[in-house]
């Protein structure tokens, strides 16, 4: 197995959030405008979607070069942005890119849900070393996160179907990260109650 190399947390954050922030800035500057490219007209949103595809590919390549690996979520995000974003640009239909978050949330919610049906916490398989918890704690967190993913999926569908493109971009850039931060902060009591300390490990 190839060695996973650690990188500076600031670099990691920049690589993960950079494309989204640049997409937001670019959309803000180009919204309401159309561009003639190759004899066809494209909205500012579609132009920035094409740019997002390129940015995601570049930052994913840089991350892989620095660490030697990509997480499953990074791979899924890369594939969906390239495929759905590409379809959006090709068909000049914004809806495909807007469905990307829904597919991501449903995919992870389904994976965690399958684990729960089998009496397992798949979340613990990827986070146990960073956050040692008792089994009951992992099951509680997994149930809550599974429900949370499906709530996010429903929220994304509601926003892109019922509200403006600008509202959807604002949700993806600012709203979802804030809500996710608040969700994980709200789990502090569970983490504190079921955490495994050094005395528990020694026992």
pLDDT tens column, 27-41: 999 998 999 998 899
* Residue 1 pLDDT grade (very low, low, confident, very high; cuts 50, 70, 90): very low
Q: What is the spatial distance between Cα 127 and Cα 26, in angstroms, rounded to a whole number?
A: 35
Confidence of residue 6 (pLDDT cuts 50, 70, 90): confident
Domain limits, the chain? 1-91, 99-197
CA distance 81 to 180: 20
Judge residue 181's burial from the number of C-beta atoms within 10 Å of its C-beta, 0-12 exposed, 13-18 middle, 19 or more buried. Answer: exposed
Neighbours of 95 (CB within 10 A): 12
Q: Which of 53-67, 79-93, 127-141 has the lowest mean pLDDT?
A: 127-141
Distance of CA 188 to the CA centre of its chain: 22
Largest Cα–Cα separation, the chain: 72
pLDDT at 198 over 70: no
Q: Which two tokens stand for residue 135?
A: 């089994």
- Confidence bin at 145 (pLDDT 50/70/90): very high
| Average confidence score pLDDT of the chain | 91
Strands (E) in the chain, as ranges, are 34-37, 40-43
């Amino acid at each position: 197995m190839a060695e996973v190399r650690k990188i500076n947390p600031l670099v990691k954050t920049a690589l993960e959030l950079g494309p989204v922030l640049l997409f937001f800035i670019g959309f803000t500057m180009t919204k309401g405008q159309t561009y003639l490219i190759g004899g066809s007209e494209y909205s500012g949103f579609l132009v920035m979607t094409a740019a997002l595809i390129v940015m995601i590919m570049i930052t994913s390549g840089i991350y892989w070069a620095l660490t030697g690996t990509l997480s499953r979520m990074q791979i899924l995000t890369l594939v969906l942005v390239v495929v759905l974003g590409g379809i959006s640009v090709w068909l000049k239909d914004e809806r495909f890119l807007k469905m990307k978050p829904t597919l991501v949330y449903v995919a992870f919610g389904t994976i965690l849900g399958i684990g729960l049906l089998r009496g397992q916490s798949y979340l613990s398989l990827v986070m146990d070393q960073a956050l040692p918890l008792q089994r009951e704690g992992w099951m509680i967190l997994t149930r809550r996160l599974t429900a949370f993913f499906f709530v996010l999926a429903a929220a994304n569908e509601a926003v892109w179907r019922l509200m403006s493109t600008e509202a959807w971009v604002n949700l993806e850039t600012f709203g979802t990260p804030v809500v996710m931060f608040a969700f994980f902060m709200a789990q502090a009591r569970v983490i504190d109650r079921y955490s495994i300390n050094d005395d528990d490990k020694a026992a």
